[in-house]
Structure 1
């Protein structure tokens, strides 16, 4: 956390706006302060199980929707709707003890039947995302031991299943409102849904009947900005209380004042130069390795992301237990790149780099195309509107050679084990390690196997892992409780507090 003072003259213009936006008219008590959080992407639905937009759990997970357990800032599990849980010695039976006081915002009790209904919906509803259904595949049966105890039986041990229960696949919905989830979220969290203006904002209000420790905030509004500079300007003008993740790190210095607090942590957003392995050129290991050697990742981060971002070398952030620093597996070496391309002897190489219109991607694409041209790879850059066009052309149709996107899902190394995923990476050894890690009898063995899997991705140049997005959060200086590291897709406001204006 960083706080730096500056000349008071530069803040006088923003003071009045800060006062006006921080207070509810007619009352300046702390509990009446509605915070406004700036975000980079607007959600396209309110249902986190039928749309894969990261903006949905960013606003709703843990704030409105709760799970039986959650992931803390250190990456470890914490109790939530379940006060405790246990697992049988064979790793097949999980028993969760629900908090008897837990209830939905409607006042309905969160009981064993509600838990079973929510998880059964993930398994049965055809509109639910395939990735969430896959997360529940190990689940063979569920039963209510009593109204406050749920027992889950797996068909085979799965380390990933417990983690999935802490994420969007494990959300416990109010069963009476399952037909309205696309527009009206219904959960048990410390905030309740109030309003959604598509393309603009999601407003939550304090759940005054919350079963746990209530929020001291009146509520939270997540307001989206497609232009990071506009979001920065809004923060400087006092129109925002928090920037959830600074999308223009080059502008960070303007927030290094006594008016703001800057949190510089890690996220789960690996910025990946993805390869379409169905392209015969990119199916050649030597070409993929050449591309990795040809790109100066440190200089790239300096040029397009203000020098902010950790070099990682594989699909693992440091908050995962199996993290190893593999960033120097392919040090910048354009001569080595040329040597590998000459060895491949594929003639003139022309590749299409199709990137989303997200803050980091176009600048990175321009830089990368220049560096690849220097070793003899010609690159045509296309910018695709995000999410609709990029998702359709790249993820669904596979109409690309290379792309750049940040994968924000936590613990997503397993995506490389799916040959149908848009990279079409197909490595049986890697797939076997991912499966074995999931079925490992202990977390220690899981960590060992996933370290091996991460190293295979690096050695095989399955992609070029450019950098890990930093978790650059800017808050007004009087706001506390925002986590430095982001270990889930949630922007967790449950512990955030702020005094009255």
Structure 2
């Protein structure tokens, strides 16, 4: 890129980034790849949320991590850290940092130095240190890190020099490196943070994102779009498209219509029933891959009578999973027999012959002394890879439970209201799920079912069992996969007995593209990246 063009790009980005409030008309910006996304991000810092919509809009577009997962092999690979080594006792990890990595520019911030150890310390000390000036800037906390007990896991982080840091752990943890490769473990700029703190505006760090990723954030208009520009200073291979636009389109049918007309080149989360329509259009492609995810119905175990395991078992026996798979997923998912999907190395098929047994459900309710039960099911208002249509799922469960004399009220809100009220624990039960962003089995247990996950409001079943937590702790202390698998299967049996949730599906990850799109990487993990995606003549359209 010539100096003149680069200066024009930086100038345009500065104008558009001035508070992300000054609109830049489409005519002022080069055309590029348009992705029809399903909703608004809750933040532009993925440390602060676990929402898939936010992760898609931020983690792999704007930021980088110390280490990444190779999308093909699932192995850990260098990113902002070029190498790492574990101590003999397994209690410390030394990282060598990549040199000459440039943070992005904006109207608020022009970096004066390259990425270094101070940025790593800021990014993680903010999370683990309650005395850190940025710790409480986040009103939502750090749900993923709190759910895995990261602050109890990490004893301290030490800067050895500008390009070396050491993480000291309180206990051995086989999942530690995997957690540093998650979509949440992004690296922020300490220099930007200190500048905004001095200005009395520390929250800007989370709203007006600065990272080291392949795209820079240009403009965000709620319910309309997010615009990004290729980062000319990206440390890796430059993105293949100059501009990236997230066209925020809440309705699946509208996303499909925009894809057909060419208003979008890539589209998210189609409903299963729409795939037949896609196949009628030669210019459209369906990209899919088995996902590391699970859809489940979580019971609020703190609320009577759902605090009685017999009632939870009864509700689980009443649900016909095969009916849900036929009506909601239409051959784009397989039945879940636990929380681990078949793509996990710790998976075993734990299906019981009598999983669906309405008579056993009635008997258990009678044994528990529960009659005329009425419960609420909260259904997400947005589609997710693990559940493309939660309202339909809720209606099917409503019908199944009516067969055993249980009345179901289906409740839904706008997504922002839904997440806020969900954090207040007002619900009886909720249809939700989990996308893993690494291949370690612990990612399916600790973040959504541990006692620490309950404290961070990421455990939607509100179920805390010290014996279960002890199982997970023991698995993380062992390096051998075969030994760990035995323990994770014990954890699955524990969940099958206690039923804090009913898992029902592992869905394929499905992305729709137009014929001129290539290198669209669909991975089994959560998050989406457009860094390698190409579009024929995208710069001229």
TM-score (norm 1): 0.87
Structural mapping, 1:132-151, within 5 Å: 132-133=145-146, 134-151=149-166
What's the CA shift for 1:457? 1.2
Find the aligned partners of 2:481 and 2:154 in 1 and give their Cα distance: 19
Residue correspondences, number: 470
Structural mapping, 1:224-263, within 5 Å: 224-246=248-270, 248-256=271-279, 257-263=281-287
Secondary structure of 1:164's match? helix
1:435 corresponds to 2:473 = yes
Structure 2 unaligned segments of length 5 or more: list them. 1-25, 106-110, 194-201, 384-388, 438-442
- Cα RMSD, aligned residues only: 2.5
Secondary structure of 2:340's match? coil
Secondary structure of 1:474's match? strand
Which residue in 2 is equivalent to 1:154? 169
Find the aligned partners of 2:208 and 2:160 in 1 and give their Cα distance: 31
Structure 1 unaligned segments of length 5 or more: list them. 1-23
Find the aligned partners of 1:323 and 1:33 in 2 and give their Cα distance: 44
**Which of 343, 368, 382 is the matching residue for 2:411?**
382
What's the CA shift for 1:276? 1.1
Find the aligned partners of 2:343 and 2:61 in 1 and give their Cα distance: 22
Residue by residue, what CA displacement relative to the aligned partner does 1:103-153 show, whole Å, maximum 9, x if unpaired?
222464121222122222222312342432532431112222232222111
Contact kept in structure 2, 1:193 and 1:203, CA below 8 Å: yes
1:465 corresponds to 2:503 = yes
Find the aligned partners of 1:224 and 1:306 in 2 and give their Cα distance: 26
**Which of 367, 375, 381 is the matching residue for 1:351?**
375
TM-score (norm 2): 0.81
Structural mapping, 1:283-302, within 5 Å: 283-302=307-326
Secondary structure of 1:310's match? strand
Structural mapping, 1:63-142, within 5 Å: 63-73=61-71, 74-106=73-105, 108-123=113-128, 124=132, 125-128=135-138, 129-131=141-143, 132-133=145-146, 134-142=149-157
What's the CA shift for 1:463? 1.0
Contact kept in structure 2, 1:46 and 1:183, CA below 8 Å: yes
Contact kept in structure 2, 1:136 and 1:161, CA below 8 Å: no
Contact kept in structure 2, 1:273 and 1:405, CA below 8 Å: yes
Secondary structure of 1:137's match? helix
Contact kept in structure 2, 1:292 and 1:330, CA below 8 Å: no
Which residue in 2 is equivalent to 1:3? none
Structural mapping, 1:331-346, within 5 Å: 331-346=355-370
Which residue in 2 is equivalent to 1:492? 529
Contact kept in structure 1, 2:47 and 2:185, CA below 8 Å: no
Find the aligned partners of 2:85 and 2:103 in 1 and give their Cα distance: 24
**Which of 275, 282, 287 is the matching residue for 2:299?**
275
Change (3 A) 1:294 1:251: same
Secondary structure of 1:493's match? coil
Find the aligned partners of 1:447 and 1:494 in 2 and give their Cα distance: 34
Change (3 A) 1:112 1:330: farther
Find the aligned partners of 1:304 and 1:142 in 2 and give their Cα distance: 46
Contact kept in structure 2, 1:313 and 1:326, CA below 8 Å: yes
Find the aligned partners of 1:64 and 1:450 in 2 and give their Cα distance: 34
Change (3 A) 1:201 1:318: farther
Find the aligned partners of 1:394 and 1:193 in 2 and give their Cα distance: 29
What's the CA shift for 1:334? 2.1
Residue by residue, what CA displacement relative to the aligned partner does 1:27-47 show, whole Å, maximum 9, x if unpaired?
9xxxx7611111112113222
Find the aligned partners of 2:412 and 2:240 in 1 and give their Cα distance: 43
Contact kept in structure 2, 1:279 and 1:401, CA below 8 Å: yes
Secondary structure of 1:205's match? strand
Structural mapping, 1:188-207, within 5 Å: 188-207=212-231
Which residue in 2 is equivalent to 1:6? none
What's the CA shift for 1:165? 1.4
What's the CA shift for 1:51? 4.0
Change (3 A) 1:428 1:354: same
1:395 corresponds to 2:423 = yes
Contact kept in structure 1, 2:49 and 2:142, CA below 8 Å: no
Change (3 A) 1:318 1:200: farther
Find the aligned partners of 1:428 and 1:259 in 2 and give their Cα distance: 54
Secondary structure of 1:196's match? strand
Contact kept in structure 1, 2:59 and 2:184, CA below 8 Å: no
Find the aligned partners of 1:91 and 1:198 in 2 and give their Cα distance: 45
Find the aligned partners of 1:101 and 1:446 in 2 and give their Cα distance: 39
Change (3 A) 1:143 1:453: same
Find the aligned partners of 1:268 and 1:201 in 2 and give their Cα distance: 28
Which residue in 2 is equivalent to 1:367? 396
Change (3 A) 1:119 1:426: closer
Find the aligned partners of 2:99 and 2:50 in 1 and give their Cα distance: 32
* More deviation, 34-43/154-163: 154-163
What's the CA shift for 1:291? 1.8
